[in-house]
Amino acid sequence: MLNGEKILFSGMQATGNLTLGNYLGALKNWVQIADEYTTFYSVVDMHSITVRQDPAEFRKRARNLLTLYIAAGLDPEKNCIYYQSHVSGHAELAWVLNCFTYMGELNRMTQFKDKAAKHADNINAGLFTYPVLMAADILLYQADVVPVGIDQMQHLELCRDIAQRFNSIYGDVFTIPEAYLGKSGAKIMSLQDPSKKMSKSDENVNASIYLMDDPDSIIRKFKRAVTDSEAHICYRDEQPGIKNLLDIYCACTGKTPDEAVKEFENGGYGDFKLAVGETVVSVLRPLQEKYQELSKNKDYIDQVIKNNAEKANYYATKTLRKVHKKIGFPERIR
Protein backbone atom coordinates (compact mmCIF):
# COMPACT_ATOMS: atom_id res chain seq x y z
CA MET A 1 0.00 0.00 0.00
CA LEU A 2 1.36 3.42 -0.99
CA ASN A 3 0.14 6.70 0.48
CA GLY A 4 -2.88 4.93 1.92
CA GLU A 5 -3.95 3.53 -1.45
CA LYS A 6 -3.96 -0.11 -2.42
CA ILE A 7 -1.63 -1.04 -5.28
CA LEU A 8 -2.97 -2.51 -8.52
CA PHE A 9 -0.85 -4.17 -11.20
CA SER A 10 -1.86 -5.28 -14.67
CA GLY A 11 -0.41 -5.52 -18.15
CA MET A 12 -0.87 -6.60 -21.75
CA GLN A 13 1.44 -8.32 -24.18
CA ALA A 14 2.92 -6.36 -27.06
CA THR A 15 1.83 -8.87 -29.68
CA GLY A 16 -0.88 -8.51 -32.29
CA ASN A 17 -3.27 -5.57 -32.51
CA LEU A 18 -5.56 -4.77 -29.60
CA THR A 19 -9.16 -5.72 -30.19
CA LEU A 20 -12.47 -4.31 -29.05
CA GLY A 21 -12.47 -7.19 -26.56
CA ASN A 22 -9.17 -6.02 -25.04
CA TYR A 23 -10.59 -2.50 -24.74
CA LEU A 24 -14.03 -3.29 -23.32
CA GLY A 25 -12.83 -6.22 -21.24
CA ALA A 26 -9.73 -4.63 -19.72
CA LEU A 27 -8.39 -1.28 -20.89
CA LYS A 28 -11.62 0.69 -20.45
CA ASN A 29 -11.98 -0.82 -17.00
CA TRP A 30 -8.41 0.19 -16.09
CA VAL A 31 -9.27 3.79 -16.85
CA GLN A 32 -12.42 3.67 -14.72
CA ILE A 33 -10.61 2.33 -11.64
CA ALA A 34 -7.32 4.21 -11.99
CA ASP A 35 -8.24 6.85 -9.39
CA GLU A 36 -9.04 4.20 -6.78
CA TYR A 37 -5.53 2.71 -6.60
CA THR A 38 -1.84 3.35 -7.01
CA THR A 39 -1.46 1.68 -10.39
CA PHE A 40 1.27 -0.01 -12.40
CA TYR A 41 0.25 -0.77 -15.98
CA SER A 42 2.94 -2.61 -17.88
CA VAL A 43 3.58 -3.46 -21.50
CA VAL A 44 4.69 -7.00 -20.68
CA ASP A 45 7.08 -7.43 -23.57
CA MET A 46 9.27 -9.96 -21.73
CA HIS A 47 6.37 -12.41 -21.69
CA SER A 48 5.96 -12.03 -25.43
CA ILE A 49 9.28 -13.60 -26.42
CA THR A 50 8.21 -17.12 -25.46
CA VAL A 51 7.04 -16.98 -29.09
CA ARG A 52 9.49 -15.77 -31.76
CA GLN A 53 8.96 -12.13 -32.69
CA ASP A 54 10.16 -10.00 -35.59
CA PRO A 55 12.37 -7.47 -33.72
CA ALA A 56 11.42 -4.33 -35.64
CA GLU A 57 7.71 -5.15 -35.65
CA PHE A 58 7.82 -6.17 -31.98
CA ARG A 59 9.45 -2.88 -30.98
CA LYS A 60 6.83 -0.95 -32.96
CA ARG A 61 3.93 -2.86 -31.40
CA ALA A 62 5.27 -2.25 -27.89
CA ARG A 63 5.37 1.50 -28.46
CA ASN A 64 1.93 1.44 -30.08
CA LEU A 65 0.50 -0.39 -27.08
CA LEU A 66 2.00 2.03 -24.58
CA THR A 67 0.60 4.91 -26.64
CA LEU A 68 -2.81 3.24 -26.67
CA TYR A 69 -2.79 3.05 -22.89
CA ILE A 70 -2.52 6.82 -22.80
CA ALA A 71 -4.96 7.39 -25.66
CA ALA A 72 -7.56 5.31 -23.83
CA GLY A 73 -7.41 7.71 -20.90
CA LEU A 74 -4.66 6.53 -18.56
CA ASP A 75 -2.79 9.60 -17.33
CA PRO A 76 0.95 8.75 -17.25
CA GLU A 77 1.43 11.32 -14.48
CA LYS A 78 -0.93 9.38 -12.19
CA ASN A 79 -0.43 5.84 -13.52
CA CYS A 80 2.95 4.18 -13.92
CA ILE A 81 2.88 3.10 -17.57
CA TYR A 82 6.09 1.36 -18.54
CA TYR A 83 7.85 -1.39 -20.49
CA GLN A 84 8.47 -4.55 -18.48
CA SER A 85 11.84 -4.96 -20.23
CA HIS A 86 12.97 -1.55 -18.92
CA VAL A 87 12.83 -2.81 -15.33
CA SER A 88 15.45 -5.50 -14.81
CA GLY A 89 13.89 -6.32 -11.46
CA HIS A 90 11.22 -8.38 -13.20
CA ALA A 91 13.78 -10.89 -14.45
CA GLU A 92 15.87 -10.69 -11.28
CA LEU A 93 12.95 -11.45 -8.99
CA ALA A 94 11.68 -14.14 -11.37
CA TRP A 95 14.95 -16.06 -10.92
CA VAL A 96 14.66 -15.92 -7.14
CA LEU A 97 11.01 -17.04 -7.30
CA ASN A 98 11.94 -19.89 -9.66
CA CYS A 99 13.90 -21.29 -6.72
CA PHE A 100 10.73 -21.27 -4.60
CA THR A 101 8.45 -22.80 -7.23
CA TYR A 102 8.00 -26.54 -7.66
CA MET A 103 8.11 -28.37 -10.98
CA GLY A 104 4.84 -30.10 -10.14
CA GLU A 105 3.12 -26.74 -9.77
CA LEU A 106 4.29 -25.58 -13.18
CA ASN A 107 3.36 -28.93 -14.73
CA ARG A 108 -0.25 -28.33 -13.70
CA MET A 109 -0.54 -24.99 -15.52
CA THR A 110 -3.15 -25.47 -18.23
CA GLN A 111 -1.93 -22.49 -20.27
CA PHE A 112 1.47 -24.14 -20.66
CA LYS A 113 -0.20 -27.24 -22.05
CA ASP A 114 -2.34 -25.17 -24.42
CA LYS A 115 0.56 -23.03 -25.67
CA ALA A 116 2.88 -26.01 -25.99
CA ALA A 117 0.32 -27.66 -28.23
CA LYS A 118 0.11 -24.54 -30.41
CA HIS A 119 3.89 -24.05 -30.61
CA ALA A 120 5.13 -27.63 -30.67
CA ASP A 121 8.30 -26.57 -32.51
CA ASN A 122 9.28 -24.09 -29.76
CA ILE A 123 8.45 -25.51 -26.33
CA ASN A 124 11.03 -23.46 -24.44
CA ALA A 125 11.84 -23.10 -20.76
CA GLY A 126 10.42 -19.56 -20.78
CA LEU A 127 7.03 -20.93 -21.78
CA PHE A 128 7.22 -23.33 -18.83
CA THR A 129 8.28 -20.70 -16.27
CA TYR A 130 6.01 -17.97 -17.66
CA PRO A 131 3.78 -18.05 -14.51
CA VAL A 132 6.82 -17.36 -12.31
CA LEU A 133 7.64 -14.22 -14.29
CA MET A 134 4.00 -13.22 -13.93
CA ALA A 135 4.31 -13.73 -10.17
CA ALA A 136 7.41 -11.53 -10.18
CA ASP A 137 5.51 -8.83 -12.09
CA ILE A 138 2.91 -8.71 -9.34
CA LEU A 139 5.05 -9.19 -6.24
CA LEU A 140 7.72 -6.74 -7.37
CA TYR A 141 5.33 -3.84 -6.74
CA GLN A 142 3.68 -5.39 -3.66
CA ALA A 143 0.38 -5.37 -5.53
CA ASP A 144 -2.74 -5.76 -3.41
CA VAL A 145 -5.04 -6.46 -6.33
CA VAL A 146 -4.70 -7.82 -9.87
CA PRO A 147 -7.48 -7.71 -12.49
CA VAL A 148 -7.42 -11.17 -14.07
CA GLY A 149 -9.68 -13.17 -16.35
CA ILE A 150 -10.65 -16.76 -15.69
CA ASP A 151 -7.83 -17.96 -17.94
CA GLN A 152 -5.24 -16.26 -15.70
CA MET A 153 -6.75 -17.16 -12.33
CA GLN A 154 -4.61 -20.31 -12.05
CA HIS A 155 -1.49 -18.17 -12.47
CA LEU A 156 -2.62 -15.77 -9.75
CA GLU A 157 -3.23 -18.67 -7.38
CA LEU A 158 0.31 -19.89 -8.04
CA CYS A 159 1.62 -16.37 -7.37
CA ARG A 160 -0.15 -16.38 -4.02
CA ASP A 161 1.27 -19.80 -3.18
CA ILE A 162 4.83 -18.70 -4.01
CA ALA A 163 4.47 -15.50 -1.96
CA GLN A 164 3.06 -17.36 1.03
CA ARG A 165 5.84 -19.96 0.80
CA PHE A 166 8.51 -17.24 0.73
CA ASN A 167 6.87 -15.36 3.60
CA SER A 168 6.62 -18.51 5.71
CA ILE A 169 10.41 -18.88 5.46
CA TYR A 170 11.61 -15.27 5.63
CA GLY A 171 8.82 -13.34 7.30
CA ASP A 172 6.53 -10.64 5.95
CA VAL A 173 8.22 -9.82 2.63
CA PHE A 174 5.50 -9.94 -0.04
CA THR A 175 1.95 -8.63 -0.06
CA ILE A 176 -0.38 -11.52 -0.90
CA PRO A 177 -2.35 -10.31 -3.94
CA GLU A 178 -6.07 -10.73 -4.42
CA ALA A 179 -8.00 -11.00 -7.67
CA TYR A 180 -9.66 -7.71 -8.53
CA LEU A 181 -13.39 -8.21 -7.98
CA GLY A 182 -14.66 -4.69 -8.53
CA LYS A 183 -16.22 -3.45 -11.72
CA SER A 184 -15.81 -6.26 -14.21
CA GLY A 185 -15.07 -5.64 -17.85
CA ALA A 186 -17.25 -7.09 -20.56
CA LYS A 187 -16.32 -10.48 -21.99
CA ILE A 188 -16.42 -9.98 -25.74
CA MET A 189 -16.62 -13.00 -28.01
CA SER A 190 -15.60 -13.60 -31.63
CA LEU A 191 -17.97 -12.17 -34.24
CA GLN A 192 -17.57 -15.34 -36.29
CA ASP A 193 -17.54 -17.92 -33.50
CA PRO A 194 -19.29 -16.61 -30.36
CA SER A 195 -18.21 -19.70 -28.41
CA LYS A 196 -14.67 -18.29 -28.10
CA LYS A 197 -13.23 -14.95 -27.01
CA MET A 198 -12.39 -12.23 -29.50
CA SER A 199 -8.66 -12.64 -30.08
CA LYS A 200 -5.71 -10.61 -31.36
CA SER A 201 -4.43 -13.77 -33.07
CA ASP A 202 -7.59 -14.95 -34.82
CA GLU A 203 -6.79 -15.86 -38.42
CA ASN A 204 -10.26 -14.80 -39.55
CA VAL A 205 -10.05 -11.01 -39.99
CA ASN A 206 -13.84 -10.73 -39.71
CA ALA A 207 -13.85 -12.29 -36.24
CA SER A 208 -12.29 -9.35 -34.41
CA ILE A 209 -12.72 -5.59 -34.30
CA TYR A 210 -9.30 -3.96 -33.94
CA LEU A 211 -9.01 -0.64 -32.17
CA MET A 212 -7.49 1.03 -35.22
CA ASP A 213 -10.05 -0.36 -37.70
CA ASP A 214 -11.60 2.35 -39.88
CA PRO A 215 -15.39 2.92 -39.66
CA ASP A 216 -16.17 1.11 -42.93
CA SER A 217 -14.29 -2.00 -41.78
CA ILE A 218 -16.07 -1.98 -38.43
CA ILE A 219 -19.51 -1.70 -40.00
CA ARG A 220 -18.67 -4.41 -42.54
CA LYS A 221 -17.50 -6.82 -39.84
CA PHE A 222 -20.64 -6.31 -37.79
CA LYS A 223 -22.84 -6.87 -40.83
CA ARG A 224 -21.07 -10.21 -41.31
CA ALA A 225 -21.33 -11.17 -37.63
CA VAL A 226 -22.75 -14.65 -37.00
CA THR A 227 -26.25 -14.66 -35.52
CA ASP A 228 -28.96 -17.34 -36.00
CA SER A 229 -32.20 -18.05 -37.84
CA GLU A 230 -34.57 -17.18 -34.98
CA ALA A 231 -35.00 -13.56 -36.14
CA HIS A 232 -35.69 -12.56 -32.54
CA ILE A 233 -33.45 -10.33 -30.45
CA CYS A 234 -33.17 -11.86 -27.01
CA TYR A 235 -30.44 -11.98 -24.37
CA ARG A 236 -29.95 -15.68 -23.70
CA ASP A 237 -27.27 -18.36 -23.96
CA GLU A 238 -29.23 -20.18 -26.67
CA GLN A 239 -28.52 -17.23 -29.00
CA PRO A 240 -24.79 -16.67 -28.41
CA GLY A 241 -24.25 -14.45 -31.46
CA ILE A 242 -27.07 -12.07 -30.52
CA LYS A 243 -26.06 -12.16 -26.87
CA ASN A 244 -22.50 -11.16 -27.80
CA LEU A 245 -23.72 -8.24 -29.90
CA LEU A 246 -25.93 -7.11 -27.02
CA ASP A 247 -22.95 -7.35 -24.64
CA ILE A 248 -20.93 -5.15 -26.97
CA TYR A 249 -23.75 -2.63 -27.30
CA CYS A 250 -24.30 -2.50 -23.54
CA ALA A 251 -20.58 -2.15 -22.79
CA CYS A 252 -20.41 0.80 -25.19
CA THR A 253 -23.60 2.54 -24.09
CA GLY A 254 -23.89 1.68 -20.40
CA LYS A 255 -27.36 0.22 -20.96
CA THR A 256 -28.53 -3.02 -19.40
CA PRO A 257 -29.31 -6.07 -21.57
CA ASP A 258 -33.02 -5.66 -20.80
CA GLU A 259 -32.93 -2.04 -21.95
CA ALA A 260 -31.08 -2.98 -25.13
CA VAL A 261 -33.48 -5.84 -25.94
CA LYS A 262 -36.46 -3.53 -25.49
CA GLU A 263 -34.83 -0.98 -27.80
CA PHE A 264 -34.41 -3.47 -30.63
CA GLU A 265 -37.20 -5.99 -30.00
CA ASN A 266 -39.30 -4.85 -32.95
CA GLY A 267 -36.40 -4.61 -35.42
CA GLY A 268 -34.55 -7.08 -37.60
CA TYR A 269 -31.05 -8.43 -37.29
CA GLY A 270 -29.73 -6.20 -40.08
CA ASP A 271 -30.74 -2.94 -38.38
CA PHE A 272 -29.52 -4.27 -35.03
CA LYS A 273 -26.06 -5.15 -36.37
CA LEU A 274 -25.77 -1.75 -38.04
CA ALA A 275 -26.71 0.03 -34.80
CA VAL A 276 -24.10 -1.92 -32.83
CA GLY A 277 -21.48 -1.18 -35.48
CA GLU A 278 -22.24 2.54 -35.50
CA THR A 279 -22.09 2.62 -31.69
CA VAL A 280 -18.66 0.98 -31.71
CA VAL A 281 -17.44 3.45 -34.34
CA SER A 282 -18.53 6.38 -32.15
CA VAL A 283 -16.83 4.87 -29.06
CA LEU A 284 -13.54 4.19 -30.83
CA ARG A 285 -13.35 7.48 -32.74
CA PRO A 286 -12.01 9.66 -29.85
CA LEU A 287 -9.52 6.94 -28.87
CA GLN A 288 -8.26 6.70 -32.46
CA GLU A 289 -7.98 10.48 -32.78
CA LYS A 290 -6.05 10.75 -29.51
CA TYR A 291 -3.78 7.89 -30.54
CA GLN A 292 -2.96 9.58 -33.84
CA GLU A 293 -2.23 12.84 -32.03
CA LEU A 294 0.06 11.13 -29.49
CA SER A 295 1.86 9.12 -32.15
CA LYS A 296 3.01 12.34 -33.78
CA ASN A 297 4.45 13.64 -30.50
CA LYS A 298 7.60 11.50 -30.26
CA ASP A 299 9.28 13.65 -27.63
CA TYR A 300 6.30 13.39 -25.29
CA ILE A 301 6.04 9.60 -25.55
CA ASP A 302 9.81 9.26 -25.11
CA GLN A 303 9.62 11.36 -21.94
CA VAL A 304 6.75 9.24 -20.61
CA ILE A 305 8.78 6.08 -21.26
CA LYS A 306 11.83 7.52 -19.47
CA ASN A 307 9.98 8.95 -16.47
CA ASN A 308 7.81 5.92 -15.82
CA ALA A 309 10.71 3.48 -16.21
CA GLU A 310 12.51 5.44 -13.49
CA LYS A 311 9.44 5.36 -11.27
CA ALA A 312 8.89 1.61 -11.78
CA ASN A 313 12.57 0.89 -11.12
CA TYR A 314 12.45 2.86 -7.88
CA TYR A 315 9.65 0.73 -6.45
CA ALA A 316 11.08 -2.49 -7.90
CA THR A 317 14.45 -1.81 -6.25
CA LYS A 318 12.82 -1.37 -2.85
CA THR A 319 11.34 -4.86 -3.05
CA LEU A 320 14.52 -6.42 -4.44
CA ARG A 321 16.66 -5.00 -1.64
CA LYS A 322 14.36 -6.57 0.91
CA VAL A 323 14.38 -9.93 -0.93
CA HIS A 324 18.17 -9.94 -1.35
CA LYS A 325 18.70 -9.21 2.33
CA LYS A 326 16.28 -11.93 3.41
CA ILE A 327 17.82 -14.69 1.27
CA GLY A 328 21.38 -13.73 2.19
CA PHE A 329 22.83 -12.14 -0.94
CA PRO A 330 25.91 -9.97 -0.19
CA GLU A 331 25.04 -6.34 0.38
CA ARG A 332 25.72 -4.09 -2.61
CA ILE A 333 28.21 -1.29 -2.06
CA ARG A 334 26.60 1.93 -3.30
Q: Is residue 200 among the annotated active site residues?
A: yes
Residues 6+ apart with CB under 8 A from 165: 100
* Residue 57: C-alpha distances to residues 15, 62, 302 (Å): 9, 9, 18
Beta bridge partners, 42, equal 11, 82
**Catalytic pick among 115, 221, 243, 273:** 115
Q: Is residue 197 among the annotated active site residues?
A: yes
The pairing of strands 38-43 and 80-83 is: parallel
Rg over alpha carbons for the chain, rounded to the nearest Å, is: 21
| DSSP secondary structure letters along 263-329 | HHTTS-HHHHHHHHHHHHHHHHHHHHHHHHHHHT-HHHHHHHHHHHHHHHHHHHHHHHHHHHHHHTP
- The letter for the amino acid at 54 is D
| DSSP secondary structure letters along 76-135 | TTTSEEEEGGG-THHHHHHHHHHTTS-HHHHHT-HHHHHHHHHTTT---HHHHHHHHHHH
Helix, strand, coil in percent for the chain, rounding step 5: 55, 10, 35
**Catalytic pick among 6, 187, 200, 318:** 200
Closest CA to 249 of 267, 49, 123: 267
**Catalytic pick among 28, 197, 221, 273:** 197
Q: How far apart are CA 192 and CA 207, in angstroms?
A: 5
Report, as residue numbers or ranges, the catalytic residues.
115, 197, 200
